[in-house]
Structure 1
Amino acid sequence: MSIRTNILLRVYLAFGLILLFAVAVVVQMYRLQYVQGNKWKAMASKLSTKYENVEATRGNIYSVDGSLLATSVPEYELHMDMFAGGIAEDKIFYSKVDSLASKLSALYPERSERDYSRMLRDARKDSSRYQLIRRKVTFQELKEIRRFPIFKLGKYKGGLIVLAQNKRILPFRSLAARTIGYKNENVKNAVGLEGAYAGYINGENGKRLMQRIAGGVYVPVNNDEDEVTAKDGADIISTINVNFQDVAQKALKKQLDSIQADFGTVVLMEVATGEIRAIANFTRTKEGDYEERFNYAIGAEAEPGSTFKLATYMTLLDQHKIDTSSKVDIEHGIYNMVNPHNGKVFLHIKDAEDGGSVISAKHAFEESSNVAAVKFVYSHYKDNPREFTDALYRYHLNERNGLQIPGEGQPLIKNPSSKSWNKLQSVAQMAYGYELKLSPLQMLTFYNSVANNGKMISPIFVREIRSMGNTVEHFQAKVINPKVCSDEALAKVKGLLEGVVLEGTGKLVIKNKLYSVAGKTGTAQIANGSSGYGEKNAHQASFCGYFPADHPKYSMIVVISNPKVGSHLAAHVAGPVFRKIADRVYASDLDINHSAPLHLVGNTTMPKVKQGNLAALKQVYSKLGLKPLYAAANTGIDTSSGIPFEENKYKAGTVPTVTGMGLSDALYLLGNAGYKVGVKGSGVVTAQSVTGGSTIPKGSKITIELQ
């Protein structure tokens, strides 16, 4: 073979290989473009864009009087696209960047104008499309920032990228904090109303399209079509009364500070509805202060002690075992129960004081005699203890109340079939509140049934759920037991409870001249595990009752554990807290604090007016010659001189009261105060979602209803 032929063969071979490679490339390109095109397009889109959740605004939690207990306020994170459409040219950007830096420095003076200018210029040089400007920006600050140079060019031209976030705040801070609860993704067990009603409060998250840019950073795509708007959560209307809650917390904490107890709890409930008006729980910290760390009212089941004697005497009276006049020898407050088979003492019972010898059942209850309770129960039920325990089960004391918030303790009421039942002493111990367990709220529920004429209802914490101002669900207390005992027995136990305060252990501390109270003290030793009751000599003091006794409106329980200073007796430990709260509630509730009735006098046809422009209102009244038409009976006040007017003033930083106003005046006041306003209906403002005088962050939304 000649050299020329050899060279040609090599050229043809090389050309053929190149041609073959080119054909393979074309085939593969066709395959990628048309055969597998959809697959790779989807993958590319997935790698360069993604949808990110937009957190919904969580619903508010309100008190029963309309005050905000928990709300979400908007908080923003600001970024900047340094090459947005309006500043793509260097001339435009550099002519305004110093002005922008000056405005940012004036609003956030922790950085100088020079620092801001340098930051923005460096970001421009680095071709940043997502430069961080500021975190934790408020709504009012954002409104101002949108008017800054460059940013005022608009959403797309000015380069301002706003990421909205929600910050949960409690306007009243620690007030009912544990009952309100909190949202924590890392905590499995729901806490308070925030946890129990998360399905309503959380709303539905939206979606926002994010695109990856250089450096692996994702920035939002400014395309409204690619966004799914978040759906705001529903509002919770709780049963808590802010004023009563404040009184309860202060009274409890002051007492805990003075006696250095381990913890304390108080619950105030409305008798007829079962609505919880106040609930406070304080735990002593290592530093000696008190904080809300655990909801003892619903979750701390313990031996209640003498407050349980209400169930004991109710059973004895309802089954006609005794009457209030029945006699019992309390043996000067010391009684030893002896085993008839071996003559050994198996139970030693002692009263707090020497109460004498033979007394009536009424007097024994009033003085909280343990000896009397044991003797009555043991003499009638020792041969058939199930008759006694079955009655307790009929009261449903062995069952949870089924509360609206999680964490309710499991009550323990033994019966002869229980593994820990002691044939000799269990029924005797139960007579005065031992060898059984109840939470404070479960005990209060039982006492409330007496105040409620025998109707036992489950306590509730939430009255209503509202979405967009409309009621989604309304709650009422469920009936646990329509009639706990006969009317005859009910009347007798009411008399016993009133006697405790009038003549018994609560006389010196709780009795007062303004209103009547019915209730029972309870001082229980706290067991120290297997070591028994004597080692620590610690006590739990409680008072449970209702007021006014003649027409009950509220029931309340106070429980304080292990006081270390002063007396450990319930009347001196829990009694003062009960009295202080009851006094304040009675003084502020017009339904039970009977004031002088209002009488109409003179012409009662008034012209309809809207609050607002006071000067105009005065002029109209003056021209019409109208005089006051309403006066309190027997006040002795001459009302013929004219109508008293009150300026519509509000404290800066608080919500103005706009009820009674027209729409324009209401919008003017609320807008000037810095709030967003939602309007429903027309006419006169009849309701506002946030009570006047409340303190909430500016930028929050307030809904007003007009009729």
Structure 2
Amino acid sequence: MNIRANILLRVYLSFGLIVLFAVAVLIRLCDVQFVEGHKWRAMADSLSTKYINVEAARGNIYSVDGSLLATSIPEYELRMDMYAGGIADDNLFNSKVDSLALRLSQFFKDKTPKEYSRYLRVARRDSVRYLLIKRKVGYQELKVIRSFPLYNVGKYTGGLIAVQQNKRIRPFKYLAARTIGYKNENVSNGVGLEGAYGEYINGESGRRLVQRISGGVWMPINDEAEVAPKEGADIISTIDINMQDLAQKALEKQLKISDADHGTVILMEVTTGEVRAVANYTRVKEGVYEEKFNYAIGGSQDPGSTFKLASYMALLEDDKVDTNTMVATGDGTYRIPSHTIRDSHGGIGTVTVMKAFEQSANTAVAKLVNMHYQENPSEFTDHFYDIHMNERLGLQIPGEPKPIIKNPKFKDWNKNMTLPQMAYGYEMQITPLQMLAFYNAVANDGKYISPIFVREIRRLGNPIEQFSARVIKDEICSPKTIKKLQAMLESVVTKGTGKEMGSPLYRVAGKTGTAQVADDNRGYRGKKSYQASFCGYFPADKPKYSIMVSINGPKNGYYGAQVAGPVFKEIADRIYARDIQMYNNIPEHLVGNTNNPEAKAGQSKAVKKVYTAFGIKTLYAAKSDYFNKIDTSNGIAYEDFTSLKGVMPNVNGMGLKDALYLLGNAGLKTKVKGRGKVTGQSIAAGSRIGKGLLVQLELQ
């Protein structure tokens, strides 16, 4: 074979292989396109499209009086599809884009019209399908923007894409901020009511199909979500917005006066356990306080002298002492092994138990408890375990620590020190709300209940779950002991350390407390810091509200009466001033005419409404639309009036408006003389009449 033939053979072979490869590629393309096309298209769709969750609008949180504490409002991210169906025509776009740029510039005031025009034209040139226009746009703003040039071509064809997001707001801003709480993805249980009732408030997320476009941006395919989100349920809290405002202002004012580190105040309704206000403030800088931590629920520490009430409950219940039992306080010191207990105000001599409690004598209660329970300390601590004071209250808001109330089984129980120290509120850890719950039980005649923050859950205005306070213990002690404890608490305010909390208008019962706070690892030997508190209720004769005030680290004085007392008094005075139900015990002084007011005869509903507004009960309610009044010596009575066809009605005693209405319906003509109410009619009531007859009315 010559060289030429050899070369041609190689060329033909190479060309054949190329043709064969091309045919194989073509066959494979046809196979991919037609045989496996469905499979690959589905895979492509899965890579370029996906479903995303659409957050539901969270439910509202209301105060007990219906005020809105927290709500979700729609907020929009505005995008623009530069080649939407309605603006695909270049002539239309170019004729309107400058007008749109001008309106956007005037509305947002963040770019000049030229900058907006250039921004939009460049995006049009680059065929951008999901151009960002503005973030965080409100609903009312969106309504205005939809009327702008190009966007007004059509809701879905003008290129404007509004991606809804939900923004959580609190209309009253900082009121009850820690109680209302917030949703935080980094906190498993959430914070406050927002976290505790997240499963109700959050609602159910929807689903929306989005497509990935150039730049890795995901753009909604359709204008509406494929699966609409379901709004969350509403929470009706027990918070009273006016009382909350009052509590926060009173606490903040006193914290500034005392130059304290932090403080809390809790206001609770005695019989229902509903928390009406809870305020917490922490000093963030000189003279500035903010809500950083919920001390009411989570601030566990030694309660100090406020715990003496529980100690005396045990002593009285076991008949170890009575309120008139004498106890020697000496010079105000009581020596126990390796420690001396002191009274901050010095010795008060030998006094009754009542007097010792009034003056908050540490030595008295420590000596009595140590003397009567030293051989069997469990007899003392069992009182608190029996009423579950050592357990969590089981609150509706997360964050409550378990109280630490020791018993002899504790490893760190000191047989010489722990019992007398516990007697006046040391060597234990209790939160302010846990302490208040105990005082509330005394005010509630022994019924120990768990405080609640939520009254009801509603969906679309209909209740789906309602709550009432859980009864922890029906009786914390005998009724006899309760009466003595109530008398002791009231005596503190009338004769003892709580005199400053008293009022000439209503009776107050409560106990002051001052406790030294341990300085971390250095204990009580480190830097001295105190907690001042006052816990009590009012009116003492018929308790309606209980209040706990606790202020930590005050610099200008540290006694409970001086530091915490003013907060209690300000709140109690203001609440009493506006709660007319508390005035029942004030003697009634009637001035002037005290007879029931006389009413004109006439329309029943109108008169009944007026009487109801004045709190006047009628002997019986009129059944017909109109009535004639009968004067009786026993009150106000009604005589029903029924209009009969062809019979003259009785309009005596009526006002002119009602009389003319009835006579007109009867077909009569009227002539009026005088003014006031009807005192005479020319045709006697009950007479037969015909249409068009003239009747003269005399008014006086």
Q: What TM-score do the two structures reach when normalised by structure 2? A: 0.83
Match for 1:556 among 541, 544, 547?
547
In 2: Cα distance, 1:604 partner to 1:495 partner? 53
Decide which moves more: 60-69 or 97-106.
Answer: 97-106
Corresponding residue of 1:617: none
Q: Residue by residue, what CA displacement relative to the aligned partner does 1:225-264 show, whole Å, maximum 9, x if unpaired?
A: x621111111111111100000000000000001111111
Q: Mind listing any 5+ residue stretches in structure 1 that lack a counterpart? A: 338-344, 610-620, 635-707
CA distance in 1, matches of 2:473, 2:41: 66
Kindly state the Cα deviation for residue 506 of structure 1 after the two structures are TM-superposed.
0.4
Distance in structure 2 (CA, Å) of the matches to 1:252 and 1:88: 63
Q: 1:298: which partner in 2?
A: 297
- Deviations, residues 499-555 of structure 1 (Å, cap 9, x unaligned): 111111101x10111111111111111122453424323211110011111111111
Equivalent residue of 1:540, what SS? strand
Shift of 1:488: 0.7
Q: Does the 8 Å CA contact 2:151/2:160 hold for their aligned counterparts? A: yes
CA contact 2:370–2:420 (8 Å) conserved in 1: yes
Measured in 2, the distance between the counterparts of 1:162 and 1:627 equals 51
What are the residue-to-residue correspondences of 1:6-25 with 2, within 5 Å? 6=6, 9-10=9-10, 12-25=12-25
User: In the alignment, which residue of structure 1 is the partner of 2:85?
Assistant: 85
* One-letter identity of the residue aligned with 2:100: L
Q: 1:436 aligns with which of 428, 435, 444?
A: 428
Which amino acid counterpart does residue 74 of structure 1 have in structure 2?
P
Task: Compute the displacement of 1:443 (Å).
Answer: 0.3
Match of 1:418 among 385, 393, 410: 410
CA distance in 2, matches of 1:308, 1:521: 10
Aligned residues, how many? 610
Aligned twin of 2:182: 182
Is 2:510 the counterpart of 1:519? yes
- Which residue of 2 is the match for residue 648 of structure 1? none
How many angstroms does 1:26 deviate by? 3.9
Matched AA of 1:563: P
> Residues 632 and 467 from structure 1, CA distance in 2 versus in 1: closer, same or farther, beyond 3 angstroms?
closer
State the Cα deviation string for residues 380-428 of structure 1 (Å, max 9, x = none): 1011111001111112111010111111122111111110001112111
Q: Following superposition of structure 1 onto structure 2, how do residues 666-677 of structure 1 map, counting pairs within 5 Å?
A: none
| Counterpart residue number, 1:263 | 262
Query: Alpha carbons of 1:599 and 1:605: their partners in 2 closer, same or farther (altered >3 Å)?
Result: farther
Contact 1:307 1:544 in 2 (8 A): yes
User: Given the superposition, is the C-alpha separation of residues 590 and 38 from structure 1 closer, same or farther in structure 2, using an over 3 Å criterion?
Assistant: farther
Asked if structure 1 preserves the Cα contact closer than 8 Å seen for 2:146 and 2:155, the reply is: no
- Where 1:232 maps in the other structure, the secondary structure is coil
Can you list the C-alpha shifts for 1:23-59, whole angstroms capped at 9, x where unaligned?
4224423443455444422221122222222221111
Q: Which stretch has the larger CA shift, 363-372 or 211-220?
A: 211-220
Percent identity for Structure 1 against Structure 2? 59
User: Counterpart of 2:453?
Assistant: 461
Question: What is the CA–CA distance in structure 2 between the aligned matches of 1:288 and 1:511, rounded to whole Å?
Answer: 29
Deviation at residue 131 of structure 1 after TM alignment: 1.7
| Contact 1:307/1:522, CA 8 A, preserved across alignment | yes
Distance 1:604 1:133 in 2: 68
Is contact 2:182–2:192 with CA below 8 Å preserved after alignment?
yes
Instruction: Report the residue type matching 2:542 in the other structure.
Output: H
* Structure 1 residues 67-466: aligned runs within 5 Å: 67-222=67-222, 224=224, 227-337=226-336, 345-466=337-458
Aligned-residue offset at 1:63: 0.8
Does residue 579 of structure 2 align to residue 589 of structure 1?
A: yes
Q: 2:156 touches 2:223 (CA, 8 Å); kept in 1?
A: no
Give the equivalent residue in structure 2 for 1:578: 568
CA distance in 2, matches of 1:160, 1:427: 74
Please give the alpha-carbon distance, in whole angstroms, between the structure 2 residues aligned to 1:485 and 1:604. Answer: 58
The 1-side partners of 2:213 and 2:33 are apart by 24
Q: What's 1:475 paired with?
A: 467
Tell me the secondary structure at the aligned position of residue 303 of structure 1. coil
Match of 2:534 in 1: 543
Q: Which moved more, 1:575-584 or 1:325-334?
A: 325-334
Q: How does 1:541-690 map to 2 (within 5 A)?
A: 541-565=532-556, 567-594=557-584, 601-603=597-599, 629=611
Q: Distance in 2 between matches of 1:151 and 1:294?
A: 47
RCO greater where, 1 or 2, for CA within 8 Å and sep 6 or more?
A: 1
Partner Cα distance (1:215, 1:600) in 2 = 82
Q: Could you give the per-residue CA deviations for residues 83-129 of structure 1, whole angstroms, max 9, x where no partner exists?
A: 11121111111222222223222322333333322222222222222
Whole-Å separation in 2 of the counterparts to 1:395 and 1:81 = 68
Q: State which structure, 1 or 2, has the greater radius of gyration over its C-alpha atoms.
A: 2
Instruction: Give yes or no for contact 1:600–1:629 (8 Å, CA) kept in 2.
Output: no
Task: Tell me, yes or no, if the aligned pair for 1:601 and 1:631 is still in contact at 8 Å.
Answer: no
Q: 2:352 is matched by which residue type in structure 1?
A: S
Is 234-243 or 116-125 further displaced after alignment? 116-125
Distance 1:388 1:347 in 2: 21
Superposed CA RMSD in Å reads: 2.5
Instruction: Name the CA shift for 1:396/1:629 in 2 (closer, same or farther; >3 Å).
Output: closer
**480-489 vs 625-634, which deviates more?**
625-634
Q: Which secondary structure does the structure 2 equivalent of 1:79 belong to?
A: strand
Tell me the SS of whatever aligns to 2:375: coil
2:631 corresponds to which residue?
Answer: none
Q: TM-score scaled to structure 1, two decimals? A: 0.82
Cα deviation code 1:165-197 (max 9, x no counterpart): 111111111111111111122334521111111
Q: One-letter code of the match for 1:200?
A: Y
Asked if the contact 1:60–1:236 (Cα under 8 Å) also holds between the matched residues in 2, the reply is yes
Deviation at 1:158, TM superposition (A): 0.6
Q: Deviations over 1:134-171 (max 9, x none)?
A: 11111111111111121111123211111111111111
**What secondary structure does 1:212 align onto?**
strand
The separation in 1 between residues aligned to 2:123 and 2:520, in whole angstroms, is 66
Rounded to whole Å, the distance in 1 between the matches of 2:595 and 2:207 is: 60
Q: CA deviation at 1:222?
A: 2.4
1:492 aligned partner:
484
Q: Which consecutive unaligned segments of at least 5 residues does structure 2 have? A: 617-700
**Paired AA for residue 76 in structure 1:** Y
1:117 maps to a residue whose letter is S
Amino acid in the other structure paired with 1:59: G
CA distance in structure 1 between the aligned counterparts of 2:475 and 2:118, rounded to whole angstroms: 78
Aligned partner letter, 1:315 = A
Measured in 2, the distance between the counterparts of 1:628 and 1:416 equals 67
**Amino acid in the other structure paired with 2:115:** D
